């Protein structure tokens, strides 16, 4: 999905040809699974971070083209709107300094971005939803100037038969937001930290299911998007916003509910990722039917199709520099920010908890029904640390207590087994995540605290947030 395409509009012949290629490549992927031809290497990790450009009044600034051109860094690229950009951090393998190596790379690139932005009269901000974003800013002229985004916008509206996208979110505080858009720029309002785990084929199902189960606590500890268009909604409003922003009625699940292209899923993975790629083939119309002349063995169409289905935990068939395929899970749950250190602490918690669950003697997916797993996720996205969720022993817990009493110790032990040093585990899990959970002060809580004290001054909130972010101190230490 991150690669540019050559056209913005597609014909019926394009769509038919793409479907034939997709079917052929899905069949080829099946042969890869049957013949076990994936790279047998795990414990490799990657990061992507999406962020905002704001002007000197701390309002979204549609200037990513000039910004990226001046930055001239191949690891920093476009996002769907001209307000956004994305950092891609080179993968790292497990080892004693795994987390600090990642932080050094991320911080180095982030500082380049912030310094350039300030030199241009801009501000770079990592946050789930920019507090100063208003409904009328999401106009078609602010799509990033790339074919893939214009094509995506056209195809979504085309597959909706021209019907506008209707956003409707009920908040915890009896607030309700309704908005109507004739384009997909609502998607641009959501920015995230994405964590990748490359897994051995024999462990891929366990890691995928573990990531699903871990999603409730990770979305809560990283929550950083309570406000949208001035409305106080979910702790992590990104979740319902993104699910509705590109909604196309693809099919109905076993309960008769309409399923879109942004989703948590309908069940655990059972035997291999192949199940999910068959879903991609059978249940979803191509959004970007760009026909390639490449050999079937590169899986270009299959990977492009997968990139336009936004599961919160996405299965990835990646290709390395030597042309060999590997499997990984992309965890898309965590909000962007508030600081580089907070991002790394969130990644550490996710990696540790997922490894603990994936390598436990009893598969946790046999202990927690998928219906409860899914309910946990949405409860945690809505209410954060205040959520009450069901866990592996069949009991219901306050999420804050569950993280402190059970999940942090699990994550800590798993990271140590992975070879991460005691000092790094202590620095990220004990000194950041634990303190954040004890205080209840994640990004969402900080934003609400500011508004409680100062009223609905979203410009003031963005400015205070920026100053705190620039201090590099983790969010649980911030003052309003």
Q: What is the pLDDT of residues 198-234, one digit of tens each?
A: 999 999 999 999 999 999 999 999 999 999 999 999 9
76 bridge partner residues: 87
Nearest-angstrom CA–CA distance, 102 and 425: 14
Model confidence pLDDT, tens digit, residues 88-140:
999 999 999 999 999 999 999 999 999 999 999 999 999 999 999 999 999 99
Alpha carbon distance, N-terminus to C-terminus of the chain: 38
Query: Can you give the pTM of this predicted structure?
Result: 0.96
Task: Tell me the β-bridge partners of 258.
Answer: 252
Q: Which residue has the tokens 């699903």?
A: 212
In which band, very low, low, confident or very high, does the pLDDT at 2 lie, cut at 50, 70 and 90? low
Q: What is the mean pLDDT of the chain?
A: 95
4 pLDDT band, cuts 50/70/90, is: low
Domains and CATH numbers, the chain: 12-475 (3.30.590.20)
pLDDT tens digits, 233-291 = 999 999 999 999 988 876 666 666 667 899 999 999 999 999 999 999 999 999 999 99
Residue in the block written with tokens 């303190």: 435
Two tokens at 181? 């858009």
User: How far is residue 195's CA from residue 264's CA, in Å, rounded to a whole number?
Assistant: 16
Per-residue confidence band for 173, with pLDDT thresholds at 50, 70 and 90: confident
Give percent of the chain above pLDDT 70. Answer: 97
Coil, strand, or helix at residue 27? helix
- pLDDT the model gives residue 1: 41
As a whole number of angstroms, the distance between CA 92 and CA 45 comes to: 5
Residue 210 host element (H or E): helix 204-221
């Amino acid at each position: 999905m991150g690669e540019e395409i050559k056209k913005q509009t597609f014909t019926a012949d394009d769509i038919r040809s793409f479907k034939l290629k997709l079917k052929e490549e899905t069949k080829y992927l099946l042969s890869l699974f049957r013949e076990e031809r994936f790279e047998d290497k795990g414990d490799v990790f990657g990061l992507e971070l999406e962020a905002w450009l704001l002007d000197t009044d701390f309002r979204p600034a549609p200037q990513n083209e000039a910004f990226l051109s001046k930055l001239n860094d191949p690891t920093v690229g476009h996002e769907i709107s001209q307000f956004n950009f994305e950092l891609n951090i080179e993968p790292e393998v497990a080892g004693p300094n795994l987390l600090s190596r990642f932080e050094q790379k991320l911080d180095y690139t982030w500082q380049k971005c912030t310094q350039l932005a300030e030199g241009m009269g801009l501000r770079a901000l990592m946050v789930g939803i920019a507090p100063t974003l208003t409904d009328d800013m999401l106009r078609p002229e602010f799509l990033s100037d790339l074919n893939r985004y214009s094509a995506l916008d056209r195809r979504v509206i085309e597959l909706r038969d021209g019907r506008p996208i209707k956003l409707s979110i009920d908040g915890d505080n009896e607030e309700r937001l309704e908005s109507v858009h004739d384009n997909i720029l609502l998607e641009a309002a959501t920015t995230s930290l994405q964590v990748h785990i490359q897994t051995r084929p024999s462990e891929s199902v366990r890691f995928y299911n573990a990531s699903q189960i871990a999603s409730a606590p990770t979305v809560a500890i990283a929550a950083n998007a309570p406000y949208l268009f001035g409305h106080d909604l979910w702790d992590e409003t990104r979740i319902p916003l993104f699910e509705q922003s590109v909604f196309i009625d693809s099919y109905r699940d076993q309960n008769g509910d309409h399923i879109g292209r942004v989703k948590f899923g309908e069940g655990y993975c059972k035997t291999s990722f192949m199940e999910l790629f068959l879903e991609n083939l059978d249940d979803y119309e191509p959004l970007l039917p760009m026909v390639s002349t490449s050999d079937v063995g590169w899986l270009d169409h299959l990977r492009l199709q997968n990139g336009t289905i936004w599961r919160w935990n996405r299965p990835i068939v990646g290709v390395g520099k030597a042309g060999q395929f590997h499997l990984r899970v992309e965890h898309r749950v965590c909000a962007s920010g508030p600081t580089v250190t907070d991002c790394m602490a969130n990644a550490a918690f996710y990696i540790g908890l997922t490894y603990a669950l994936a390598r436990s003697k009893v598969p946790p997916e046999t202990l927690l029904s998928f219906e409860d797993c899914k309910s946990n996720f949405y409860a945690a996205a809505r209410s954060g640390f205040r959520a009450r969720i069901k866990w592996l022993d069949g009991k219901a817990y306050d999420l804050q207590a569950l993280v402190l009493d059970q999940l942090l110790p699990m994550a800590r032990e798993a990271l140590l087994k992975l070879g991460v040093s005691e000092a790094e585990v202590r620095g990220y899990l004990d000194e950041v995540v634990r303190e954040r959970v004890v205080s209840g002060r994640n990004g969402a809580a900080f934003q609400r605290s500011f508004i409680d004290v100062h009223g609905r001054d979203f410009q003031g909130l963005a400015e205070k947030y920026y100053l705190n972010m620039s201090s590099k101190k983790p969010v649980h230490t911030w003052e309003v």
